[in-house]
Amino acid sequence: MGLEIAFWILAITAVVAALAVVSLRNIFRAALCLILCFLSIAGIFVILSADFLAAVQVLINVGAIAILIILAIMLTREVERGSLPNKMQFPVLASVALFLGIAVFAVIRTPWQVSDLSPIEPTTTELANKLFGEGGFILPVEIAAVLLLATIIGAIVLMRER
Amino acid sequence: MTLGLEHFLVLSSVLFAIGLYGALSKRSAVVILMSIEIMLGAVSIAMVAFSRYVVPALLIGQVFTIFIIVVAAAEATVGLAIIIAIYRRRETIDITKIDLMKW
Amino acid sequence: METTIPNGLVWLIFLLPLISFVLITLFIKPFLNSRPKLSGYITIGTITGSLILSLWLLASLLNAPSHELIIPDFNWLIIEGSINIHFGLTIDMLTAIMLIVVTVVSLMVQIYSQGYMHGDPGYHRYYAYMSLFTTAMLGLVMANNLLIMYIFWELVGLCSYLLIGFWFHRPAAAKAAKKAFIVTRIGDFGFLAAILLLFFNTGTLDVAQLHSYAVTGAIGSAVLTWAAVGIFAGAVGKSAQFPLHVWLPDAMEGPTPVSALIHAATMVAAGVFLVARMFPLFEHSPEALSTVAYIGGFTAIFAATMGLVMTDIKRVLAYSTISQLGYMMLGLGVGGVAIGIFHLFNHAFFKALLFLGAGSVNHATRTFDIRLMGGLRKVMPWTYATFLIASLSIAGIWPLAGFWSKDEILASALSENTLLFVLAMITVFMTAFYMFRVVFMTFGGEYRGSEKPHESPPVMVVPMVVLAVLAVVSGWFNATGGFSHLLGHGESHGFTEGFFGILSHPLPWISLAMAGSGILLAYAMYSAKWLSAKRISWFFRSLYVLFSKKYWTDELYEDVIGQRLLSDNLFAGMKLLDSNVIDGAVDGVAKTVVVTGKTVRKMQSGQLQLYGLFIILGVLAIVISLLLSG
């Protein structure tokens, strides 16, 4: 019962925050609403018994990405201009609405095969096993590491002052 | 009503749609980036929901989500670096003005 | 000679003048331009060679079984299963006789031209074209299938165009050349249609095969009639029969030797030859045969009426040619191949002679207008004598050549079709009259012009004498019916009683009487002046106007049909169609492409968000189609 209430609150918060991100004039406030959106998503993870993931979401998405976005807003003085729509507003709106309609239709109509097993709690040990253990995802982990290295180097190169 | 897979999936769809709208119809590059982050978040919710409801023992969805978050971080980094580089050159990050690849 | 001519030399008969043409065009004209006589010598040499070979050929044929030689042909256009065209020669008596005619007349004309065309700047060109013409004409009579024949037919027409318009800087000559080509083209269209018709119905164009098909009735009678009529249409064009006769009088703008060779003796005879060659088709289609006879008979009298009033000596001779060709067609139609070809044989000699005589007169008096001549018999005795002999021959006076062939035609007409016989008889009177009108006005009386006429040089007189001899004796070949027997095809209504025996029948006396009265009337009007020509022409003035205006056929063809009907209406309408509809469609296609390009180009806006929108729309399209298809 509690879970349902929590879900609804978090869901509505996420949706409203997302709407705010895309429609607020002031970009800085939009960034703050992004943070709110991320926090709501973290809450949803908790409802889904993905506790480790919720923590990761908050740490990285909120703590790093959102901060980075705010940094970029400051550096490029976007606040002065504001968030404006471009010429394609209405066609995009129509397409997106159509997309949403079809997605919801597909989701509701499909007979999902839901299993009755209860989720694993806590997930940390299990995740660790999955990532680093036998027959796990160790290769993607290594590749992710290389990817992050490339990202750092790329960012530095792009940002160098001539 | 009890929570079912459909609820999470519908939520994911709605968030994805909102992010999509923002990505395609905004002029400011930073706002587009934020919308992309929203889309990625929506997908993460869907992954985790599937993982929990269909095959709870395997946790594949959560593993996937971890990677999504890693890649999102990398992409945001590089994307913002590019945005700042463009801003240095052109004094604007209105992407309707950055159209050198047109006919 | 007892030896048969080798096959290779038979090919040489028509290749020799071709060699002359090539030599003149490629070597003499570019390099040896200052020695004009060379091209004349080469042409005369090669045609003499062809003449000797033709005589040898004739001798071989007379000894050969069924008077035919089989020459192996070679494959020319073979498509497995559908087309099988060989390039070969067919040598029978008809071929041999035509070869003799063409080579003899051509040789005489070339020798004469050495004198007539002396000093003309286009000397080389003249002989080149003459050689080419001779090649084409010889090839035409030797061809063994309709396609090769058609090629040579067109080549002959081309040479006629080139030679009529020889003095091309004169607008009248250029116009006449164009007219000749276009009018004969109309007839050639009928010929081509007939060729196609025959090919589609029988799958072959070989003359011998077509003959056997016609005889055995393998070709349906409707097809046969249409094919024969089409072939006759080609002959109508080439031989200047009504209604395509209008080009021949205008063709007199060319040099006189050209008129003698092409428009008197050989090319215009090609039409008669064609009908004779394809005669089995005509034999088995009575409608076609009677068409030939009627058109021939009508043309004969039609042209003779116009010849009565012309004042240009060459024009009179032109209408005379048309009229005599009408006789030949009539002969083919009622009497058969032998009778028509016999008249062709005789006519070639005396008509060529008449033209050469006209050229000689022109050489002396610088004009062709008979009103400015007169009294020339005193200063040009040889020309006068030969011209007189030819005139007597064409009038059909016994025992000259023209009498024999005309009489055969008249006899056949009498037994087949009385109306045509009457028309032919009237034409005999007219022919005699107009020829002797020319004789008396040109050679009789006193000189009315202002030049100083003199006799022509021997190079021009000798060929005329040779032709005069032939004009006398060529009729004797059939005195005992030998000619008809050799040619076969069609019955001979002629007489086989020989030289004097013929006078025992009543018909020759009637024709002699008609001819004699024509000569007498001409004498009365133009020599002794018992009757005034002016008063008679005033008395019959409506007829006079009708004849001298050539029945307004030129006006009809050129103004009414050519200008008003076609040019202003039909062709102008076509032009509108072309520029608006067709060009419009082509431009429209281009414009559509351009407009499409402009529109599609907008998709490359450089805006990534637009591309993203397209991606989403694509994904949606796929998903919707998947959903709809279940």
What number of residues does chain C have? 630
**Mean pLDDT confidence for C356-368:** 87
Region A1-96: CATH code: 1.20.120.1200
DSSP class of C66:
G
Chain B residue at shortest CA distance from A72: B80
Query: Does B54 fall in a domain?
Result: yes
Those residues whose C-beta lies under 8 Å from the C-beta of residue C377, and which sit 6 or more positions away, are: C384, C443, C444
Query: Does B100 fall in a domain?
Result: no
Quote the pLDDT of residue A160: 84
CA C335/CA C331 separation, integer angstroms: 5
C512 or A152, greater pLDDT: A152
What own/partner pairs with CB < 8 Å and gap ≥ 24 does C420-426 have? Answer: C420/C293, C420/C294, C420/C297, C420/C330, C420/C334, C423/C297, C423/C298, C423/C300, C423/C301, C424/C297, C424/C300, C424/C301, C424/C327, C424/C330, C425/C510, C425/C511, C425/C514, C426/C301, C426/C514
Chain B residue at shortest CA distance from A12: B11
| Alpha-carbon distances of A162 from A157, A159, B80, rounded to whole Å | 10, 9, 18
Chain A CB contacts of C616 under 8 Å are 95-96, 99
Contact A76, B83 (CB under 8 A): yes
State how far residue B102 is from chain A, nearest Cα, in angstroms. 16
Name residues of chain A where pLDDT drops below 50: none
Query: Does B98 fall in a domain?
Result: no
Contact B78, A152 (CB under 8 A): no
**Mean pLDDT confidence for C475-486:** 63
Instruction: Kindly report the pTM of this predicted structure.
Output: 0.68
First to last CA, chain A: 60
Contact A3, A58 (CB under 8 A): no
How do the domains of chain A map onto residue ranges? 1-96, 120-162
| Alpha-carbon distances of C368 from B65, C319, C378, C438, C573, rounded to whole Å | 114, 15, 18, 11, 44
Give tens-digit pLDDT for A115-149. 878 877 788 888 888 888 887 789 999 999 999 99
Burial of C144 (0-12, 13-18, 19+ CB in 10 A): buried
- Number of Cβ pairs closer than 8 Å across A and C? 23
Q: C623 — contact with chain A (CB < 8 Å)?
A: yes
CA-derived radius of gyration, chain A: 20
DSSP class of C478:
G
Quote the pLDDT of residue C279: 87
Mean pLDDT (chain C, rounded): 83
Domain tally, chain B? 1
Give tens-digit pLDDT for B31-65. 999 999 999 999 999 999 999 998 888 888 999 99
Which residue among C609, C623, C624 places its CB closest to the CB of A88?
C609
| Alpha-carbon distances of C581 from C569, C578, C595, rounded to whole Å | 17, 6, 20
State how far residue A20 is from chain B, nearest Cα, in angstroms. 10
Which residue among B24, B101, B102 places its CB closest to the CB of C609?
B24
Chain A CB contacts of C627 under 8 Å are 102, 106
What number of residues does chain A have? 162
Give tens-digit pLDDT for C121-146. 888 889 999 999 999 999 999 888 88
Contact C507, C420 (CB under 8 A): no
Contact C360, C441 (CB under 8 A): no
CA angle C492, C231, C478 (to 5 degrees): 20
Contact C617 A92 (CB under 8 A): no
**Mean pLDDT confidence for C81-99:** 79
Quote the pLDDT of residue C210: 81
Give tens-digit pLDDT for C379-435. 888 888 999 999 999 988 877 888 888 888 888 888 777 888 888 889 999 999 999
Residues spanned by the domain of B54? 5-90
The band of C1, judged by pLDDT with boundaries at 50, 70 and 90, is very low
What is the value of ipTM here, to two decimals?
0.91
- Residue C489 DSSP SS3: coil
Distance of CA C243 to the CA centre of its chain: 14
Quote the pLDDT of residue C153: 93
| Alpha-carbon distances of A15 from A4, A20, B27, C496, rounded to whole Å | 16, 9, 22, 126
Chain B residue at shortest CA distance from C597: B103
Those residues whose C-beta lies under 8 Å from the C-beta of residue B47, and which sit 6 or more positions away, are: B61, B62, B64, B65, B68
Burial of C576 (0-12, 13-18, 19+ CB in 10 A): exposed
Quote the pLDDT of residue B98: 80
Q: C593 — contact with chain A (CB < 8 Å)?
A: no
Chain C residue at shortest CA distance from A85: C609
Contact A86 C623 (CB under 8 A): no
Contact C223, C201 (CB under 8 A): yes
Distance of CA A152 to the CA centre of its chain: 21
Distance of CA C198 to the CA centre of its chain: 23
Chains touching B (3+ CB pairs < 8 Å):
A, C
Q: C608 — contact with chain B (CB < 8 Å)?
A: yes
Contact C310, C316 (CB under 8 A): yes
For CA atoms C466, C469, C471, C473, the dihedral sign is negative
**Which amino acid is present at C109?**
V
The owner of tokens 């492409």 is C593
The owner of tokens 């690849």 is B101
Which candidate in B2, B5, B12, B13 is best for mutational testing of the A interface (most A CBs within 10 A)? B13
Chain B residue at shortest CA distance from C609: B24
CA angle C253, C256, C262 (to 5 degrees): 90
Distance of CA B73 to the CA centre of its chain: 11
Chain B CB contacts of A47 under 8 Å are 3
| Alpha-carbon distances of A131 from A116, A141, B46, B61, rounded to whole Å | 25, 7, 20, 12
- Token pair, residue C330, equals 């009539």
The answer to which of C210-219, C302-311, C354-363, C374-383 has the lowest mean pLDDT is C210-219
State how far residue A99 is from chain C, nearest Cα, in angstroms. 7
Query: Does B95 fall in a domain?
Result: no
The owner of tokens 């590019």 is B82
- Token pair, residue A152, equals 């750092």
Chain A CB contacts of C609 under 8 Å are 86, 88, 92
Pinpoint the alpha helices (H) of B3-59.
5-25, 29-53
Contact B99 C609 (CB under 8 A): no
Does C507 score more than 50 pLDDT? yes
CA B16/CA C551 separation, integer angstroms: 96
Cis peptide before C243 (omega within 30 of 0): yes
**Which amino acid is present at C617?**
L
Does C600 score more than 60 pLDDT? yes
Q: C610 — contact with chain A (CB < 8 Å)?
A: yes
Where residue B26 sits, what CATH number does that domain have?
1.10.287.3510
- Token pair, residue B30, equals 């930073």
Contact C344, C296 (CB under 8 A): no
Backbone phi, then psi, for C606, in 5-degree steps?
80, -5
Contact C116, C363 (CB under 8 A): yes
Which residue among A69, A112, A144 places its CB closest to the CB of B70?
A144
C3 or B78, greater pLDDT: B78
Looking at chain C, the whole-number percentage of residues with pLDDT higher than 70 is 93
The band of C69, judged by pLDDT with boundaries at 50, 70 and 90, is low
- Token pair, residue C280, equals 């089995």
Chain B residue at shortest CA distance from A31: B34
Provide DSSP, C266-310.
SHHHHHHHHHHHTHHHHHT-HHHHHHHHHHHHHHHHHHHHHHTT-
| Alpha-carbon distances of C241 from A59, A152, C129, C298, rounded to whole Å | 111, 102, 25, 9
Burial of C307 (0-12, 13-18, 19+ CB in 10 A): buried
Chain C CB contacts of B99 under 8 Å are 605-607
C417 or B2, greater pLDDT: B2
Burial of C104 (0-12, 13-18, 19+ CB in 10 A): buried
CA C340/CA C529 separation, integer angstroms: 38
CA C102/CA B6 separation, integer angstroms: 106
Quote the pLDDT of residue B75: 94
Contact B77 A126 (CB under 8 A): no
Quote the pLDDT of residue C458: 85
Contact C609 B23 (CB under 8 A): yes
Contact A155 B66 (CB under 8 A): no
Chain B CB contacts of C608 under 8 Å are 95
Which candidate in B10, B48, B92 is best for mutational testing of the A interface (most A CBs within 10 A)? B48
Contact A22 B26 (CB under 8 A): yes
Per-residue HEC secondary structure of C361-429 comes to HHHHHCCCEHHHCCCHHHHCHHHHHHHHHHHHHHHCCCCCHHHHHHHHHHHHHHHHCHHHHHHHHHHHH
Contact A47 B20 (CB under 8 A): no
Contact C624 A91 (CB under 8 A): no
- Number of Cβ pairs closer than 8 Å across A and B? 228
Which residue among B23, B100, B103 places its CB closest to the CB of C612?
B23
CA C546/CA A141 separation, integer angstroms: 114
The owner of tokens 């934020």 is B34
Those residues whose C-beta lies under 8 Å from the C-beta of residue C461, and which sit 6 or more positions away, are: C360, C382, C383, C386, C455
Which candidate in B35, B39, B97, B99 is best for mutational testing of the C interface (most C CBs within 10 A)? B99
Chain A residue at shortest CA distance from B39: A18
State how far residue B100 is from chain A, nearest Cα, in angstroms. 17
The owner of tokens 């003048």 is C17
State how far residue A147 is from chain B, nearest Cα, in angstroms. 8
CA C149/CA C427 separation, integer angstroms: 33
